[in-house]
C-alpha cells in the first residue's frame, strides 16, 4: 500500500509506501505517526523499530495464534511491559520487522524534496 498526504491547502507534502501484505498499513501508520506526531526526519521514521500484529488475513496463517512481532531494537522495558500485560510477544532480529519503505517529503513552500529509503533492504534516495 502507498500513501499520499496533503496539507490544508491541498498540496502534496508526503508520499510513501512499503510492500509487505498485511504489514503494509501497520508499518505505514507507524512511519506517518513518527513523521507527523513524533517530529522525526524521513530516514529516522523509516528506520525506527517496527512491530507487526500477526497473523493477518492470509488464509494460510489466519488460524495461527496471535502474536505481536517486535524488532529487538525496541527498549527491553517496552517488551517486558507488553508481556506483563498479557501480550504474546515474538522478538525478531534487529532489522527483521518487515517492509521495504520509501518516503518522499515535499516542502510546500520551496518544493524541496527529501527522500528516505529503508535500511532493512537495498535501496537509496536519489536527488537531481
**DSSP labels, the chain:** -EEEEE-TTS-EEEEEE---TTHHHHHHHHHHHHHHTS---HHHHHHS--EEEE--S-TTTTTSPPEEEEETTS-HHHHHHHHHTT--EEEEPTT-S----EEEEE-TTT--EEEEE-TTSS------
Model pLDDT, residue 94: 97
The class that CATH gives domain 2-117 is: alpha beta
Decide: pTM greater than 0.85.
yes
Please report which confidence band the pLDDT of residue 1 belongs to, taking 50, 70 and 90 as the band edges. Answer: confident
69-120 per-position pLDDT tens digit: 999 999 999 999 999 999 999 999 999 999 999 999 999 999 999 999 999 9
Cα 113 to Cα 91: distance, rounded to the nearest angstrom: 35
Domain boundaries, the chain: 2-117
Cα 109 to Cα 7: distance, rounded to the nearest angstrom: 11
Q: In whole numbers, what is the pLDDT of the chain averaged over residues? A: 96
Cα 23 to Cα 1: distance, rounded to the nearest angstrom: 9
Amino acid at each position: 500500500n502507498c500513501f499520499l498526504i496533503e496539507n490544508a491547502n491541498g498540496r502534496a507534502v508526503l508520499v510513501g509506501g512499503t510492500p509487505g501484505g498485511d504489514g503494509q498499513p501497520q508499518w505505514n501508520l507507524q512511519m506517518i505517526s513518527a513523521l507527523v506526531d513524533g517530529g522525526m526526519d524521513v530516514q529516522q521514521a523509516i528506520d525506527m523499530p517496527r512491530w507487526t500484529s500477526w497473523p493477518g488475513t492470509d488464509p494460510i496463517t489466519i488460524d495461527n495464534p496471535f502474536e505481536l512481532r517486535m524488532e529487538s531494537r525496541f527498549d527491553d522495558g517496552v517488551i517486558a511491559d507488553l508481556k506483563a500485560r498479557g501480550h504474546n510477544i515474538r522478538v525478531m532480529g534487529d532489522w527483521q520487522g518487515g517492509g521495504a519503505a520509501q518516503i518522499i517529503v515535499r516542502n510546500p513552500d520551496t518544493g524541496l524534496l527529501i527522500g528516505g529509503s529503508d535500511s532493512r533492504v537495498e535501496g537509496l534516495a536519489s536527488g537531481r
